[in-house]
Amino acid sequence: MATTLSPNTSDAVIEAARPKPISLSQDIWRRFKRHRLALLGTVILFIIVVGVIIGPWIWTVPINEIDFAARLKPPSWRHPFGTDDLGQDLLARMLYGGRISMAVGLAAMFIAIVVGTVIGAIAGMSRGIVDTALMWVTDLFLSLPQLPLLLLIIYLFRDSLKKVVGPEVGVFVLVVVVIGGFRWMPVARLVRAQFLSLREKEFVEAARALGASRTRQVVRHIMPNALGPVIVAGTIDVAAAIIAESTLSFLGLGFPPDIPTWGRMLFDAKDYLDIAPYWALFPGMLIFLTVLSINYIGDGLRDALDPRRVMG
Amino acid sequence: MTLSGTYVLRRVLIALPSLLGISVVLFTVLALAPGDPFGDIVSNPNIPAEVAANLRIKFGMDDPVMVRYFRWLFAMLQGDWGFSFASRINVDTLILQRLPTTLLVVGSSQILALLIALPVGVYAATRPYSLFDQIANTLTFVGFSLPTFFTGLLLILVFSIQLDWLPFVYRADITSTGWHFYWDHFKQTIMPVTVLALFQAASWTRYVRSAALDVVKLDYVTTARSKGLKERVVVMKHVVRNAMIPVVTLVALQVPAIFGGAIVTEQIFRVPGIGSLLISAILANDTPVIMAVTFVFSCLVIFFNLLADILYAWLDPRIALS
């Protein structure tokens, strides 16, 4: 009895020694947490997002209240981020601009992901001519000069879209569609590569042997396993879309002047760098912080979603 | 080590359909656009209707899309790029005036980026997770999260306004002579080149590091070390060359972004290149110039991709044989 334990106690000992079972999402969170900068990025991005969502309700200064007595004032209690050349409050304008930047980033990412996944999935599932043709188109889009084309399309279509749906919505739709339309290619390539390897795996073969239809194979078996890299690419696409929108606005060709996006504020501020540097610094820093946080989150997700990269 | 002529020829022949494809995309965008972007004269209300109708027929504006596309394509190929509405000179002359500046700024920034990325990336890969690697990693993240337009403004703020060391407007008409001329040129090129170089160097460093990290673990590197080769020789001859192969591919994918960055940079520092020409043409509704500049950018992208393909085959002779 001294060496052999009774069946009951041994079970209890094994039960205690075995780590608690954890779900997939807990496992991902555990690995994500280990990337400290990604965690910090999440916190910062969360603060920025909450700030631009509820901020305009707390800081109720109108974005277009012109006050020439207070023009180009450095930060103060009345105007925490200072004022621009028309005396408009920069904090209110930045909060409003943040909403647009975030919305553009998310919507463009969504378009890029959907288009990229569909094209990548079709190319990955079909062999031969369809695959070749789709990949040729993908490569063609990859070698298009994106910013010049973006500018060309906005130049050609801006006025007519404005007439149809109004200046704000028109430019928003145009910017989102065009930015998203030029960012799906990396996603398509990723998805196709994933599909090519996954569709030959045993578990897909097993599903096929059980008589699963093509759609079911894709939706239930292949797609969930191909999702990791797509999520990572999608995260980074948000950052890229925010930069693209800011670039357009910075060139003076994005949203109309009365809509204060972050890039537009930099565009307006660049001629006053010597007397009002804070005007450019605040929106610039905000773009930088947002993009940096998103990039770090993407990096953390990459580690968390791909167990092969980080052991344990 | 020699590169076969047939391989180069084959790559050129593959590049041609891409160029055609891009021209189709460009023309489709133009054809889908509402109104007559080229019809500045025709839609002018001062011109009587019948004259306008005659002009439409003369320029073939109502021909089928295919006919118009081929006419446009052949005109582009023959160098007949039209007439700038705003500058009142031929578009090709205008672009040829501006192109060297863009190529100078972009070219020197790429060389600078390579000079930063290659040593930093390789050094970081040979000492993974060291302090140097961590600092380099953080800086690369900061580097490619900083948009070029913000870096440009920051540099102007520090070096032109606070320190007053460098001019923030690029001038094509420098009056000084002798070596002062070159010095002034050099001074005004520093900031645009740095802005572009920093952005590129950041992403390239990441590529170089991860590619080199994959290579240093391979057996032949261990073999090279155990043969007693010096560390410098191992790194330079065995690691770098093979690590460059995937890097070249990734860099080729970045070429469109490089020219995008060039447009922004030229706009900030008012560099008289084709990027700032594009922006001013858009603001002036100068369609022939816009189309031509976009086309030139496409050609440049295709050309540099071709260059990357050839470089790729030189680095990895297996590619040319397969």
A124-167 residue pLDDT tens: 888 788 888 898 888 888 888 888 888 888 888 877 777 777 77
Residue from A172, A263, A255, A101 nearest B148 by CA: A263
The whole-angstrom separation of Cα A261 and Cα A105 is 12
Contact A34/B at CB under 8 A: no
How far does A14 lie from chain B, in Å, by closest CA?
A: 37
The residue of chain A with its CA nearest to that of B298 is: A145
- Could you identify the residue written with the tokens 């078996």? A221
The whole-angstrom separation of Cα B256 and Cα B304 is 10
The whole-angstrom separation of Cα B206 and Cα A261 is 31
Q: Chain A interface, mutation test: which of B145, B154, B206, most A Cβ atoms within 10 Å?
A: B145
B153 pLDDT tier (thresholds 50, 70, 90): confident
Q: Which pLDDT belongs to residue A115? A: 94
- What rounded mean pLDDT belongs to chain A? 81
Q: Which residues of B touch A284 (CB under 8 A)?
A: 150, 153-154
Which one of A53-62, A173-182, A249-258, B10-19 scores highest in mean pLDDT?
A173-182
CB-based contact A288 B145, cutoff 8 Å: yes
Tokens of B130: 């060291």
CB-based contact B260 A148, cutoff 8 Å: yes
| pLDDT > 50? residue B296 | yes
Inter-CA distances, A273 with A137, A154, A267, A268, B168, Å: 43, 28, 11, 10, 11
| Cβ under 8 Å to A: B residues 161-220 | 161
Between residues B125 and A22, the one the model is more confident about: B125
Q: Which pLDDT belongs to residue B149? A: 86
A312 pLDDT tier (thresholds 50, 70, 90): very low
Tokens of B40: 């500045």
Identify whether the C-beta of residue B226 lies closer than 8 Å to the C-beta of residue B142.
Answer: no
* Single-letter code of the amino acid located at B114: L
Identify whether the C-beta of residue A195 lies closer than 8 Å to the C-beta of residue A222.
Answer: yes
Contact B153/A at CB under 8 A: yes
| pLDDT > 80? residue A275 | no
CB-based contact A145 B144, cutoff 8 Å: no
Q: Is A83 helix (H, G, I), strand (E, B) or coil?
A: strand
Q: Chain B interface, mutation test: which of A40, A45, A147, A178, most B Cβ atoms within 10 Å?
A: A147
Contact B267/A at CB under 8 A: yes
CB-based contact B22 A143, cutoff 8 Å: yes
* Single-letter code of the amino acid located at A156: L
Identify whether the C-beta of residue B170 lies closer than 8 Å to the C-beta of residue B271.
Answer: yes
Mean pLDDT of B302-307: 85
Q: Which pLDDT belongs to residue B10? A: 80
Between residues A190 and A80, the one the model is more confident about: A190
B52 pLDDT tier (thresholds 50, 70, 90): low
Mean pLDDT of B28-34: 77
How far does B157 lie from chain A, in Å, by closest CA?
A: 7
pLDDT digits (tens, 9 = 90+) for B183-210: 777 778 888 899 889 888 988 898 888 8
B164 pLDDT tier (thresholds 50, 70, 90): confident
Residue B50 contacts by C-beta under 8 Å, 6 or more apart in sequence? Answer: none
> Any idea which of A8-17, B157-166, B265-274, B295-304 has the lowest mean pLDDT?
A8-17
Of A239, A266, A296, the CB nearest to B149: A266
The whole-angstrom separation of Cα B220 and Cα B243 is 13
B112 pLDDT tier (thresholds 50, 70, 90): very high
B182 pLDDT tier (thresholds 50, 70, 90): confident
| pLDDT > 70? residue A13 | no
Q: Which pLDDT belongs to residue A127? A: 76
CB-based contact A274 B161, cutoff 8 Å: yes
DSSP state of B239: I
Of B147, B157, B282, the CB nearest to A243: B147
| pLDDT > 70? residue A310 | no
| pLDDT > 60? residue A2 | no
Between residues A15 and B244, the one the model is more confident about: B244
Q: Which residues of B touch A241 (CB under 8 A)?
A: none
Identify whether the C-beta of residue B27 lies closer than 8 Å to the C-beta of residue B72.
Answer: yes
- Could you identify the residue written with the tokens 């288009």? A115
List, as one string, the DSSP characters of A152-172: HHHHHHHHHHHHHH-HHHHHH
- What rounded mean pLDDT belongs to chain B? 81
Q: Which pLDDT belongs to residue B1? A: 45
pTM: 0.84
The whole-angstrom separation of Cα B145 and Cα A45 is 14
List, as one string, the DSSP characters of chain A: --SSPPHHHHHHHHHHHSPPP--HHHHHHHHHHH-HHHHHHHHHHHHHHHHHHHHHHHS---TT---GGGTTPPS-SSSTT-B-TT--BHHHHHHHHHHHHHHHHHHHHHHHHHHHHHHHHHHHHS-THHHHHHHHHHHHHHTS-HHHHHHHHHHHHHHHHHHHH-HHHHHHHHHHHHHHHTS-HHHHHHHHHHHHHHTTSHHHHHHHHTT--HHHIIIIIIHHHHHHHHHHHHHHHHHHHHHHHHHHHHTT-SS-TTS--HHHHHHHHGGGTTT-HHHHHHHHHHHHHHHHHHHHHHHHHHHHH-TTTS--
Q: Which residues of B touch A162 (CB under 8 A)?
A: none
> Any idea which of A202-211, B31-40, B311-320 has the lowest mean pLDDT?
B31-40
pLDDT digits (tens, 9 = 90+) for B209-245: 888 888 888 888 888 888 888 888 888 888 888 888 8
Q: Is A224 helix (H, G, I), strand (E, B) or coil?
A: helix
Could you report the predicted ipTM of this complex, rounded to two decimals?
A: 0.81
> Any idea which of A58-62, A241-245, B216-220 has the lowest mean pLDDT?
A58-62
Q: Which pLDDT belongs to residue A311? A: 40
CB-based contact A140 B21, cutoff 8 Å: yes
Of all residues in chain B, the percent with pLDDT exceeding 90 is 1
pLDDT digits (tens, 9 = 90+) for A107-117: 999 999 999 99
| pLDDT > 80? residue B258 | yes
CB-based contact A295 B145, cutoff 8 Å: yes
Tokens of B33: 């656009």
Q: Is B83 helix (H, G, I), strand (E, B) or coil?
A: strand
Q: Which residues of B touch A158 (CB under 8 A)?
A: none
CB-based contact A291 B257, cutoff 8 Å: no
A257 pLDDT tier (thresholds 50, 70, 90): confident
Residue from B260, B273, B292 nearest B77 by CA: B292
| pLDDT > 70? residue B163 | yes
Angle between helices A90-125 and A223-250 (to 10 degrees): 140
Q: Which residues of B touch A37 (CB under 8 A)?
A: 138, 141
The residue of chain A with its CA nearest to that of B282 is: A155
